[in-house]
Amino acid sequence: MKTIGILIFLLVACSPLKAHTINYELASLPQTDIFWTYLKLGFEHILPLGLDHILFILSVFFLSSNLKNVVIQATTFTLAHSVTLALAMYGLIKPVPAVVEPIIALSIFFVAVENLLIRRLKPSRLVVIFAFGLIHGMGFAGALGSLGLPPGSFTNALVSFNIGVEMGQIAVILLAYLLAAKWFSDKPWYHKRVVQPVSLLIALTALYWTFERTFV
């Protein structure tokens, strides 16, 4: 956890400040239209565009198929990435993609490997999820920064984008639950035949992304 904290500090403290991108094309839209526009963008950044974030959420899901526990973790993740996303979009921090993207991949690897090593959800995982959420928020900032925020509607756009992201995460969780956990999570072979193979595949994918984003 200290290592994660140091990485976040470096990403924040060692980066120059940068003002948010302004999208003047959306400035004339009513607040309701802006809300729905950014809500849709947030959802689409998870489904279908956010494969790395999907794999992170699936890694969270497969340790405990209890929907309440998974949703709590997903919401913790959303709250965390909302913080760094807002800081980045308001120009208080400037995440460095060359550093952030490999760490995002490593966060997926870490959570997936954890599924292979432990069988029960521990309270400490919420701390891990929150820490990684801060880092993922810096990744979201890159996507949202390319679109920009409408002048006079920064808060509306940020809130609706984050709600869209949360809805996308919940959709991933519900799909995973309906396709696998609802029918098989109480089976004695579920962890060995479902959780472990899926987690291993996610871990290998994340490890590949880490090297790719670091050296390519």
Least confident segment among 14-28, 56-70, 91-105, 118-132:
14-28
pLDDT > 90? residue 64: no
3 state DSSP class of 50: coil
Tell me if 46 sits within 8 A of 169, measured CB to CB.
yes
Alpha-helical regions (H) of 149-193:
154-176, 182-184, 190
Count how many residues are written for the chain: 216
Residue 17: the pLDDT is 35
> For residue range 89-139, what is the model confidence (pLDDT) as tens digits?
888 888 888 899 999 999 999 999 999 998 787 888 899 999 999 999 988
Domain layout of the chain by residue ranges: 31-215
pLDDT > 50? residue 6: no
Report for 10-19, 67-76, 203-212: range of highest mean pLDDT: 203-212
Alpha-helical regions (H) of 14-66:
31-46, 51-63
Residue 25: the pLDDT is 65
Segment 36-60 mean pLDDT: 92
> For residue range 171-208, what is the model confidence (pLDDT) as tens digits?
999 999 999 888 998 899 999 999 999 999 999 999 99
Q: What are phi and psi of 149, to 5 degrees?
A: -115, 140
Q: In 13-93, which ranges are E strands?
A: none
